[in-house]
Amino acid sequence: MADPSQVRSFYAGKNFFITGGTGFVGLCLIEKILRCIPDAGKIYLLMRPKKGKEIADRLQEFPKNPVFEKLLESNSADIFKKLIPIAGDVGEENLGLSPQDRQTIIDNVNVVIHSAATLDFQESLRPTVNINLLGTRRVMQLCKDAKNLKVMIHVSSAYVNSYLTEAHEKVYEAPEDPEKVISLVGTLNDEALLEVEPKLLKSHPNTYTFTKHLAEHEVVKCADLFPCTIVRPTMIVAAWKEPIPGWTCSKVGPQGFLMGAAKGVVRRLPLAKENVADYIPVDVVVNQLLVAGWEAANSRSGLTVYHCSSSTCHPFTWTMLDDTVNSMLHKYPLKSAVWYPHLKFVPSLLMFRISAIFVHFFPALLLDLMLRMTGGRPILIRLHKNVWNSLNRLERFIFSEWKFHNPNTLELATKLNQTDKELFFIDISKLYWVEYFKTLHLGVRRYLNKEKESSLPAARKKDMVLLLFHVIWQLFIMGLVWYIFACFTGLTLAHSAWIAPIIYILFTFL
């Protein structure tokens, strides 16, 4: 007989308070608790009312989300009655809680999972300090007031230490005095704050990593008051196993560019394909949050940091997909594709920009023109301009390689009994990357591009038609370049025919 789940037993009867519950990780976390910890108590969700939609209305949309499909196979919609929406915002004083709601949380909550953050790399210092740093401080203050708190789990990021090429599972010295940063944000105008920003960030690439680094020190301050733990995921990608293989609602990282590649819109990708890219599936992240909370509450041995990462224990490089990524795009094409998909990795931003002129912007001009003629809204040129403008900001993340050492995580996996190793799996040693990316692509196809499996036959027929148009377009562009060359040199097309194979060879490098 299998041993009972220790993790499930710990959370039985416990009430949760979760921030960021409507995000990628948050939704998967809620689903996991509802499905795998049936004896858990209430789940209080901090939610912001959106324009024209109250939080109760937002909660009514949860059962429609595909992430809950598996849960609803064995449960009725009554399971969502465990979810208690709490109006608030981590960016407001006292989390924007009413006195009554705050008292409810103080009196009832046993487990706090703080996941809310602003992830925008372009964001200025003011909003990131308010949400990531002060938001964490406000959550920690609530934890101090809670009457029966068992554990606080802080969702950080491995990239809080991205100024290092190798990072370990510890909280590094703060890059700046948080009180000084908060004071400057509170006193300087936007222009002055933008001027001092580089001096404050020092080696940090952006305000996100800077403020998330400072936020970890807010957790450290409370480590002697109640059990705390910090989990640092790397780039979070689609589900590996649960609740549905390939499930995602995030367009960040490989999910976003595979979404565009399947459409035929993204055809070149700047990256160092030999570098290790640290990806971690969202279901592994969720399991690690729950397992880390269980361990912190039981051990009471001070604050432990966990890297939820793959770079040092099960590394992935894009060379693994060199031979399969395009066959995958054509085996499972999109009915909504607008151009023949063909993804090619380029090793520098300069090469990408040169290639993009021919394989992104020229086709985008043609397709936007067709959209205008048919009454549609031209969007492709604008999309490619946005990508073009963002590349300098992202270059460090595209071409750098990090090693996030994770001995604490590996040790944590050994502490689980067999039941918990299966129920709350955090060991990724059996993840086969090539097969996983096929699953990810199918998930992107279904959940981001909104295409069902039944559309595949029609999509494959369209793929063949797009191939024909793609060949015609390539011949047209090469012929145009040949004609321009002939006009420029004063030669006839026949006398300049020798340039045609050279043009073809040059195009293969784009």
166-167/151-155 β-pairing: unpaired
Report the distance separating Cα 197 and Cα 382, nearest Å. Answer: 29
Q: Is 405 exposed, middle or buried (0-12, 13-18, 19+ CB in 10 A)?
A: middle
DSSP string across 9-61: HHHTTPPEEEESTTSHHHHHHHHHHHHH-TT---EEEEEPPBTTB-HHHHHHT
Report the distance separating Cα 105 and Cα 41, nearest Å. Answer: 13
Mean pLDDT, consecutive 10-residue stretches, the chain (510 aa), reads 88 96 94 95 91 78 91 90 93 94 96 91 88 96 96 96 93 94 92 92 92 96 94 97 95 90 90 93 98 92 92 95 93 93 90 87 84 82 82 79 96 95 95 96 95 94 94 87 89 86 78
Pick the CATH number of 6-241+280-316+401-432 from 3.40.50.300, 3.90.1280.10, 3.40.50.720, 3.40.50.1220: 3.40.50.720
For residue 484, how far is the Cα from the chain centroid? 45
Structure tokens at 57: 């209305």
The structure tokens 């220790």 sit at 6
Among 334, 346, 352, residue whose Cα is nearest residue 262: 334
Report the distance separating Cα 368 and Cα 374, nearest Å. Answer: 10
Cα-Cα end-to-end distance for the chain: 60
DSSP string across 438-485: HHHHHHIIIIIS---GGGHHHHHHHHHHHHHHHHHHHHHHHHHHHHHH
Report the distance separating Cα 466 and Cα 470, nearest Å. Answer: 6
Q: What is the reported pLDDT for 52?
A: 66
Q: What is the reported pLDDT for 152?
A: 97
Handedness of CA 349, 350, 352, 356 (dihedral sign): positive
Question: Packing angle between helix 134-145 and helix 207-220, nearest 10 degrees?
Answer: 20
Q: What is the reported pLDDT for 431?
A: 96
* 3-class secondary-structure state, position 490: coil
Tell me which H or E stretch contains 220: helix 207-220
Q: What is the reported pLDDT for 381?
A: 86
Q: What is the reported pLDDT for 1?
A: 60
Q: What is the reported pLDDT for 398?
A: 83
DSSP structural state of residue 3: P
Structure tokens at 421: 């190793």
Report the distance separating Cα 454 and Cα 191, nearest Å. Answer: 53
Question: What is the amino acid identity at position 109?
Answer: V
* 3-class secondary-structure state, position 298: helix
Task: Return left, alpha or beta for 247; rule: phi > 0 is left, psi -120 to 50 is alpha, else beta.
Answer: beta
Which residues, in sequence order, are CB contacts of 218 under 8 Å at separation 6+? 133, 136, 137, 140, 178
Give pTM, 2 decimals: 0.92
Give the bridge partners for 317, in sequence order. 276
Phi/psi of residue 80, each to 5°? -75, -5
Structure-derived torsion over alpha carbons of residues 137, 57, 256, 441, reported in degrees to the nearest 10: 120
Question: What is the amino acid identity at position 361?
Answer: F
